[in-house]
Amino acid sequence: AQSVTQLGSHVSVSEGALVLLRCNYSSSVPPYLFWYVQYPNQGLQLLLKYTSAATLVKGINDFEAEFKKSETSFHLTKPSAHMSDAAEYFCAVSAPGYALNFGKGTSLLVTP
Amino acid sequence: EAGVVQSPRYKIIEKKQPVAFWCNPISGHNTLYWYRQNLGQGPELLIRYENEEAVDDSQLPKDRFSAERLKGVDSTLKIQPAELGDSAVYLCASSYGQGTEETQYFGPGTRLLVL
């Protein structure tokens, strides 16, 4: 079985500050890991994905995430938050033969 | 390139009534997914199609939910009869290929409210 746990249902940062959204995974096989973003009343958009290549993955809008097997983590970071980054962020895990399992999401608030 | 199209965007019905959702995936995408997203939760897979074949429907409540993808392109998800607990956003996604590392592209969803 596979699952992800997103630590913190709500995260607030100031504009220009570092964004850090935490995700820990559980998987009995080597996982594929994803971060999606969801803006209000919209579907999910892929930010980045890890599929067993480089452990540091760069995505759209200056987001990146690092796969750390020893810590079973795949935290999402961005050096400088913009107001437009305010949204719901979902971490997800899958593997060959397994469905995509999402976390419960983290709501990011960016304050001026 | 057009994205995943879903309709309607919003639906309000009374309990015990039927309801149907429609999805048109991105052209050329052979894999189609239906997810349910409850308020404050991540999406949960209901059913996955490879072309016209349902290859994973283990999470679909088959007593009231049904789905079809007759020609391997667009798909319909139906609930009959609807219950209060079915209120949620129903998301459709599509991808090209069969590997689960393939990127899934999501539609905007249908927001269902059952009164």
Q: Beta strand B44-50 with B53-56: parallel, antiparallel or unpaired?
A: antiparallel
Residue pair B91/B34 in contact (Cβ under 8 Å)? The answer is yes
The residue in chain B having the minimum alpha-carbon distance to the alpha carbon of residue A33 is B101
| pLDDT tens per residue, range B78-88 | 999 999 999 99
Cβ neighbours of residue A93 closer than 8 Å, sequence gap 6 or more: A2, A3, A4, A25, A26, A27, A31, A32, A33, A34, A100, A101
Q: Report the Cα A72 to chain-centroid distance in Å.
A: 13
The per-residue pLDDT of chain A, averaged, comes to 94
Would you call A23 exposed, middle or buried from its count of C-beta atoms within 10 A (0-12, 13-18, 19+)?
buried
Nearest to B42 among A42, A46, A103 (CB): A103
CB atoms under 10 Å from CB of A50, counted, come to: 20
A90–B43 C-beta distance less than 8 A: yes
Beta-bridge mates of residue A11: A108
Question: What residue has token string 């067993």?
Answer: A52
Query: Which chain A positions have a beta carbon within 8 Å of B39's beta carbon?
Result: none
* Residue A26 pLDDT > 90: yes
Query: Which chain A positions have a beta carbon within 8 Å of B45's beta carbon?
Result: 99-100
pLDDT of chain B along its 115 residues, tens only?
689 999 999 999 999 999 999 999 999 999 999 999 999 899 999 999 989 999 889 899 999 999 999 888 999 999 999 999 999 999 999 998 666 667 889 999 999 999 9
| pLDDT tens per residue, range A32-85 | 999 999 998 888 999 999 987 789 999 999 999 999 999 999 999 999 999 999
For residue A85, give the 3-state DSSP assignment: helix
The answer to whether B91 faces chain A, any CB pair under 8 Å, is: yes
